[in-house]
Amino acid sequence: MSRALEYQLRLSAALNGVTRTNYGLIHAIPWKRIALFSDVHAPYDDVELLAQAFENCELAHIEAIVWLGDLADGHFWSHWGVTEHNLNVDTEHNMIKTIVEEGFKAVNHQYWTEGNHDRRMKAKLDYRTTQADLARLCRLGKWLGDDVPEDEWFEGLDDKRLFALDNPTISAFDGRWKFTHPGVYSAQPLAQARKFSAKWECSVATGHSHQFAMGRSVNNKYTVLETGGFFNTDFIEYIHAKPMPGQEMSQGYWFIIDGQPIGFQKGDSIRRLWALGNLSA
């Protein structure tokens, strides 16, 4: 045994069996037909847009949905304060549960990565909560592969179909794409996506900005996206209470099929794209 290995074993033994979380681990997903949904901000979500997206998932045979951060708004932990006094925490959690379970009627697998609002909720709980714990708070444990009560089991339920990930970044298409919910955003369209593309040397889609856009990386080698979102600005008080100049928020979502992005905004149907010849059936 080398001296270096002896040192390593003694240093590791000092942990007394404690397992440290590898926060740098980026989950790689194997699917080739992916729906990229971000910034739902339930309870401020647009139900009509979500319903359209789930139908399009069925039509396009999407294999997995990636909820790229901020599926939950965390309304009750907002620094802005509680403004929807007719809501309660249970109602907010039930809305998230319903959204995810409706998603499972359209696809087989879903991924919920951390967004800044998810992290805010964890901070209020002294960071003792994981993304999987947030899913359990929303009564989604059975989809995580937790023990399922006999009366809740149903045919076709896999051991694990929901992946709740603490890292805001996820990789796909053998590393050719990364999707992330960055800690900051820019008023300049695609600015953050281009920075991440330069850093990672791949195509990149970013949430958080509440903008829907597509372009090319600085070196013109990669595709960069901003993912839009499913928020409904009519329901978000601070947008109207503190009006700001600049670009308006824009809804939208993306399908990435065999590495190629296809963008949708409200009213866009796969059937219409088929008719226009913009997408093969």
pLDDT tens-place values along the chain, 281 residues long: 899 999 999 999 999 988 887 888 899 999 999 999 999 998 889 999 999 999 999 999 999 999 999 998 877 665 555 566 677 778 888 999 999 999 999 999 999 999 988 888 777 766 678 899 989 989 999 999 875 555 554 444 456 899 999 999 999 999 999 999 999 888 889 999 999 999 999 999 999 999 999 999 999 999 999 999 999 888 776 666 666 666 788 999 999 999 999 999 998 887 766 655 555 55
Look at residue 232 and tell me if it is in a domain: yes
Look at residue 179 and tell me if it is in a domain: yes
Look at residue 12 and tell me if it is in a domain: no
Measured in degrees and rounded to the nearest 5, phi and psi for residue 225 equal -130, 150
Look at residue 22 and tell me if it is in a domain: no
Give residue 198's domain range: 33-276
**How many domains is the chain built from?**
1
CATH code at position 200? 3.60.21.10
Look at residue 2 and tell me if it is in a domain: no
Look at residue 9 and tell me if it is in a domain: no
Q: Which residues of 221-259 are buried (b: 16+ CB within 10 A; e: fewer)?
A: ebbbbbbbbbbbbebbeebeeeeeeeeebbbbbbbbbee
Look at residue 19 and tell me if it is in a domain: no
Look at residue 7 and tell me if it is in a domain: no
139 exposure class (CB count in 10 Å sphere: 0-12, 13-18, 19+): middle
Q: What is the pTM of this model?
A: 0.88
Nearest to 39, CA basis, from 104, 98, 115? 115
